Amino acid sequence: MGIAIIYFLIIILANSIGAISGMGGGVIIKPLFDLIGYHSLTEITFYSSVAVFTMSISSTYKQIKNKIKIDWPKAITVSVGSMVGGVLGNKLFFYLVELFQDEGKVQLIQIILTVISLVLVLIYQLWLDKKLYLKNLVAFFIVGLFLGGFSTLLGIGGGPINVTLLVFCFGLPIKDATVYSIITIFFSQLAKIVGVYVTTHFEIFDLKLLLVIIPAALIGGYVGGLLSGKFSDKMVAKIFIGVVLLVMGINLFNLIQII
């Protein structure tokens, strides 16, 4: 019961922040669950994905109610790419688990890749201002493919790299990028959850925990979507960078613990 309450509070906070910043919450949930260490890596990755997937539903609904304008052809294209990427990322995750026969090594790979992506995001956000302004739908598909695969492999759902890459490739304002990021998260995590079901039929998971995870994720996503409509682009950017620094610190601590 104690761990369920802890997970409940973490998910509400993480998904609220994740919905505002477009990171999806998983980038906070995953390392915090790793830090607690109560469940196995496979279980943590699954629970994080369910939380982020649920958040993406409530957050997208709230964003649409906020009358955020969405270019649906682009949104659908990036979503299809993220869905394919989600399938590939999930396959790669289980391949690495089988290859190393040691979840600690896979977790180490996840942490290192996450930290590298966070460093690149900080460099871009703080010192670079280049944008490509790509318009081709093929580019949206390729970006979605990469984001879906990368985030699913890391078990973080979305992460800072989503928003940064969308801003860099397509020149989107950060608040618009957060909306497209949440949409890609929805489809990539849907693909992952379906893939996990096909592989395991959920038999290795304690599904009773979902009675805590899903409501917490819905609350967090809704609150984040509500607050996002009240914050300026400048404020969202500050929250984004603050969360990146926080998550980097948690991941580095986890890295030290493993080593």
pTM over 0.95: no
Token duo for residue 36: 């607690």
Structure confidence by residue, pLDDT tens digits, 135-180: 889 999 999 999 889 888 887 766 678 888 998 999 888 778 878 8
208 DSSP 8-state letter? G
In angstroms, the CA 37 to CA 155 distance is: 15
Structure confidence by residue, pLDDT tens digits, 58-113: 777 766 776 677 788 888 899 899 999 988 988 998 899 899 888 888 889 988 98
Q: How many domains does the chain have?
A: 1
pLDDT for 212 equals 93
Using an 8 Å Cβ cutoff, are 148 and 81 in contact? Answer: yes
What b-and-e string marks burial along 183-194, b requiring 16 or more CB atoms within 10 Å of the CB? Answer: bbbbbbbbbbbe
27 pLDDT higher than 70: yes
3-state secondary structure of 23: coil
Using an 8 Å Cβ cutoff, are 240 and 174 in contact? Answer: yes
- Tell me which residue range forms the domain holding 234: 2-258
Phi-psi category of residue 25: left, alpha or beta, with phi > 0 → left and psi -120 to 50 → alpha = left
